[in-house]
A and B are shown apart, each in its own frame.
Chain A
């Protein structure tokens, strides 16, 4: 069980301290943790492991958008429970407050406390479903803020216990007010690829989420089926999905929570090609390293590819770098990262980045080579080829509006040089 949860800012300052059990944890532990971050990850908590052993406590941490969620325990507990809980807290707070950063947390600290108190009791998760939480603790919105300014009072605390706490459908509020009677399903895919130094595609797979945004009255029954479910390798589901229909005929049958949620995540492995190619060449001689990176379309997905960027860490021991591109902009960021923003690939020319790196005195050849991270986005296409066959909605008073979308973006797309 978790003894306490701390929210730390980017500079290691404790923003929120919430003790969960009677065994109080002194906030000095945060000081220890920050020392550890400085020593082991140069002050970047995202590079610290999720489980850290301190002299007095076991620490779990999850880092999101500049906020470190830190929890402590002294006894054995499933570490994944702690890590998943912290990421759930982060998700719920992001959902509530629209975004997550130091200022937002501080500005809404009362809500953060109320949410934390409701999400965990005695070191064990209590209510973690966003739908239910929103009924117990109101989400801050423009109206309530204005009310607060004008009248000076508005209560964030719901007066009534949500009925759903008792129901079998514990993720959904029973009475959905103001339902606009519509359901949107979107496929959001990330393409993971790895190209080795020889230019061979070592692995290429698509990890996708089916995100549903439902605003349906009553207790609707939804059934979603795919045209080609056999291509899916791995799946995981939102708790609302019934396992039996999937097992027998690969159909998703569920009662959705209200609002936007991730219905399912899946992975399609062993894809054959990537939509674009990135060919880096680095050759070094006599203390100079010539860099040349070519980007182009390999396999046209039929929709425009945009937001293309190529990013790489300059190798250590570089005295100076002089890089230019025939298309897009090249920036060298503070942490020795070179970011080449391409955007669209123009029709008439192939974008290329070229230039020269001067190595430090005494070093003739480059001995370590950077890895290029590629980002792109394609709207309207799921590169894995997964297709939704149909969505049936039952148990609603009138036929709802249904919408479908697809989108692919690059996930861990790496090209080694």
Chain B
């Protein structure tokens, strides 16, 4: 019976395959394809083409048959045509010359009576992308844009996108065609026009204005894919034209309006009204707005009032109202992309009370298009963080389902934590309890962390949470002891971390929890968990009434177990006992000191030097027991005693800075964008246009003029400049208080952070500068914009850049207050030089050696000049010298290949001209002995690294020579200011960014020779200058800025940063170079060189070149 079944299955399989193309896929090469292609019969040709397609599908390169296939374009059969087109499009780029053969047929097909044939011909002709035929395609597109068939017009719109890549200089013509297509009466064509608009001229929103109303009205009729694109365009238009809506979520002062149905929640926990913004607006929303509209960082500070009082409301502005009205039915679309696009229009533009209508449809997409769920959840998270009450009634939708992948679960957990309110928390908690039994332990650890976050947000539930967490800790510690399970450790550690986070809020009232946890210490074997508990014990040893009572036995226990512990636990025991001593009352002090002495003795003999160091450090700070052998200079003793006491207090008794769970490092992009999913700006990501930018063009011109004036007046006196600098020091101080506090104390008081911090205490000293630097650039960017402009002309001496107060305390050498130290550590001075402040010493290369050429020597160097003939040419300085004693006559330099004429210079024609070409050079009639003549060669390298073959004719003799191009001169300087640079850099992240590390040693020699004379000048400055001049003299780039850290130690060069900008000669694509230093000026510097460029291959080459220049 089974046999029968099997055979019938096989039979049905055979029947299923019969008549299909299965045999062609299985064995495409069992017949001679070229022979079949040349056959007279369509059937044979189809067979051959199918075989070729099968080979393409399997990844075999069959480009060699291109000529034979192209012939078949002329075939009458549509099927042959279609298959040929498929083949053509796959290989056209590789075989451009042969592809040209097909153009005539396309031209003929374009006037075929069958619209399908016309459409296919247009699609393929534009699709093969030959620069040579681009003008022909343009003509065809113009014609097809007025074709009677809507399908052909639609294809014309698609062809526009393809054409734009080939003919960017024709953009105005292309825009006109887009305009024609926008006025089409077929919705399909209008939709396709939107696609064309987006790739051809996404910024000419003025084009939209005359079609706006009609576009809105056709929105429901066009196909879903076009809806996504068109909605985005319309949103951008409305924002650029009318600005933002006053009563939208972006400006809502009180989001509790959004809540419906008597939910009682304290709004304070999410919306803290700010005094900075001024009138109305909460910080998260203004922040959100800044994330969406990021184009001109800095504009917010100047124009803050404009943003906080937008003039438009939905009731008064028809355009906004109609956009909202026409997008709202799209929330019912079957395509989740359309739903999200429509929802984001409402999110940004709709009045607060209407925003809630997007919630239902968005949540429904989670169920109805499961593939979209992950993307949608990412956007919901941003929405929920801004307006938690909007989603609060829908907590059920975020309950985790066993089929959800881990990342989806993590997002859902975060959303649940965000929207949890007093009324919903019991249900959410019951869910969390179930999740703890889940087999995925990483997810369980996340749940445990989420519990702590909920408890921090809603303090009323914290005791319930603690109970639950404690029993979890007990339970987990019992199983992890019996068997070793993968992933159980993280749950245990996370549970203790969560307890720690909750206890921190009000340690005194939770002291029983602490005691129960500490009692459990001998049952918990996991080192990270142990050290956490010991930290909690030490930190809260003075809190409450009960804890002090348990100190003696615990301390004894720790001393007893010390020798058996691992490194991190040992360090924590040392810290904890030091804290106990500092806080303990007089009565026990002696006892504690004895225990302490025992522990430090043990630690002093430890195998690990970290432990020994720590022991020595602590026993010096807190001398216990066997103190003072030399009592003679007691005044000094008591003095240092005081200092020690203060230091110890500061190090061990420092209060934990209350870090709010801030979103500042959380990046937000437009809802529904790829960037929001991957959390970095994907190439091509464009934030919303500046509100009302279309209206305010003249206004901004005036504005910039004003600021220019004011900056001039500021630059005139240096006094105001330095006062600004000191201002900036304080600015940065307030920006990242929490971070540097940790560095200053160097102890392990990390709040709400996971265990790995415990290991890395020592590493902290190196890392922070770079970090804080980032902080400054990212956050302070907006605020500094104006100030940066001011500092652009300024002084080269470091001392002037430091704030006076900082400088004084530095010179004083008194134990400075930590606050001052911090401020100095993180300040970055931005020094800007013009390019001219560095001498360029270009490297000289030899073209002709005098020994081979009977005394004629030719030396060349790349020059930074821009060629007067064309911007595509590279200028090369040539030094011709006569080393003989006789006169040399008729020195002619010419290219071995034919040189180009003037009108050809500007062209970037692809085909033949990939060999470097030389602009004609004047000849030198005669050259006297020992005379040197300078000439300028202008070469078009066509973006290739091929050497230019030259022949130098002299006295009738021909000397061949090769001129090797330098990739660092394939670019030209692109002057820009720092903000533009950072902006551009942000757009070119991800795949467009390359980095390499290298070392820089040049400054070491320089130091050696200038040691005596330049005692007082700053070494950092020297280094900065030497590197900058080295790069500038070897590459044709523009120095944008040079940042120097204002460090506490003179020697420390970490944080030095150079930024260069340039654009590629042939494509005018910007190419940005950033160099970041690390290390000390006394030794070799570690540099990280980073290149951001759209042309990735070139970028990589340039990066390598820059690295060789530096090294």
Contacts and interface: CB of A to CB of B under 8 A. Distances in A.
B363 interface: yes
A363 B482 CA distance: 7
Contact of B684 (A75, A124, A267): A75
A405 to B, nearest CB: 21
Interface in B197-234: 199, 220-221, 223-225, 228, 232
B372 interface: yes
A316 B675 CA distance: 38
A80 B340 contact: yes
Nearest to A41: B405
Contacts of B149: 161, 165-166
B479 A363 contact: yes
Given A146-B19, A157-B79, A317-B485, A194 B401 contact: yes
A371 B402 contact: yes
Given A159-B114, A414-B401, A416-B434, A77 B674 contact: yes
B360 A233 contact: yes
A216 interface: no
Interface in A44-102: 47-51, 53, 55-58, 62, 73-81, 83-87
B53 A109 contact: yes
B188 A166 contact: yes
Contacts, number: 291
B42 A153 contact: yes
Contacts of A107: 16-17, 20-22, 25
B991 A80 contact: no
Nearest to A159: B78
Contacts of B116: 136, 158-161
Contact of B59 (A17, A103, A207, A246): A17
Interface stretch (B330-338, B843-851, B894-902): B330-338
A157 B116 CA distance: 11
Contact of A165 (B150, B375, B403): B150
B374 to A, nearest CB: 5
A17 B89 CA distance: 12
A333 interface: no
B54 A109 contact: yes
Given A157-B79, A233-B360, A79 B991 contact: no
A398 B116 CA distance: 34
Interface string A208-249: 000000000000000000000000011111110001001100
Contact of B57 (A15, A200, A234, A367): A15
A84 B336 contact: yes
Contacts of A62: 371
Contact of B396 (A155, A203, A238, A313): A203
A368 interface: yes
Contact of B228 (A1, A19, A78, A160): A78
A364 interface: yes
B78 A110 contact: no
Nearest to A234: B364
Dominant secondary structure of chain B at its interface with chain A: helix
A333 to B, nearest CB: 16
B21 A81 contact: no
Interface string B400-431: 01110101100000000000000000010011
Contacts of B336: 80, 83-84
Contact of A78 (B17, B408, B438, B673): B673
Interface in B491-514: none
Interface in B318-376: 329, 332-337, 339-341, 360-361, 363-365, 367-369, 371-372, 374-376
Contact of B223 (A49, A128, A246): A128
A109 B21 contact: yes
B334 A237 contact: yes
A16 to B, nearest CB: 5
A106 interface: yes
Contacts of B334: 236-239, 262, 265
Given A83-B371, A165-B151, A234 B361 contact: yes
Interface string A279-290: 000000000000
Interface in A339-395: 360-365, 367-371, 373
A165 B150 CA distance: 7
A145 interface: yes
Nearest to B16: A107
A146 B685 CA distance: 52
A169 to B, nearest CB: 10
B165 A22 contact: yes
A170 B376 CA distance: 28
Nearest to A154: B19
B165 A194 contact: no
A403 B151 CA distance: 36
B89 A19 contact: yes
Given A47-B405, A107-B22, A161-B151, A313 B434 contact: no
Contact of A124 (B195, B483, B685): B195
A233 B24 CA distance: 51
Interface string B76-102: 011100110110011001000000000
Contact of B56 (A17, A124, A147, A203): A17
Contacts of B793: none
Contacts of B90: 19
A136 B71 CA distance: 24
Scoring B19, B188, B335 by chain A CB atoms within 10 A of each residue's CB, the highest score goes to B19
B1033 to A, nearest CB: 34
A303 interface: no
Interface residues of B, number: 117
B891 interface: no
A165 B21 CA distance: 29
A401 interface: no
B421 to A, nearest CB: 18
B991 A202 contact: no
A170 B154 CA distance: 13
Given A17-B59, A75-B683, A157-B82, A207 B372 contact: no
B483 A363 contact: yes
A58 B361 contact: no
Scoring A129, A196, A207 by chain B CB atoms within 10 A of each residue's CB, the highest score goes to A196
A27 B57 CA distance: 10
A323 interface: no
A84 B151 contact: no
B225 A85 contact: yes
B335 A313 contact: no
Interface string A114-127: 10010001101110
A397 interface: no
B678 A53 contact: yes
Interface string B655-680: 00000000000000000111101100
A258 interface: no
B21 A76 contact: no
A394 B93 CA distance: 53
Interface string B49-72: 010011011110000000000000
A235 B339 CA distance: 11
* Across the A-B interface, the 8 shortest Cβ-Cβ residue pairs: A145-B19, A80-B337, A243-B329, A234-B364, A75-B684, A166-B150, A107-B22, A165-B151
Interface of A: 1, 14-17, 19, 22, 24, 27, 47-51, 53, 55-58, 62, 73-81, 83-87, 103, 106-110, 113-114, 117, 121-122, 124-126, 128-129, 136, 140, 144-149, 152-153, 155-161, 165-166, 168, 170, 192, 194, 196-198, 200, 202-203, 207, 233-239, 243, 246-247, 262, 265, 267, 269, 313, 315-317, 360-365, 367-371, 373, 412, 414, 416
Given A78-B341, A412-B403, 16 more contacts: A1-B161, A14-B59, A22-B162, A50-B371, A76-B673, A76-B674, A84-B372, A107-B17, A110-B83, A122-B161, A196-B434, A197-B434, A202-B399, A207-B368, A267-B364, A363-B483
18 contacts: A15-B57, A17-B57, A19-B89, A22-B127, A73-B674, A80-B340, A124-B195, A145-B18, A147-B19, A155-B79, A157-B78, A166-B188, A170-B188, A197-B437, A207-B367, A234-B360, A367-B437, A367-B475
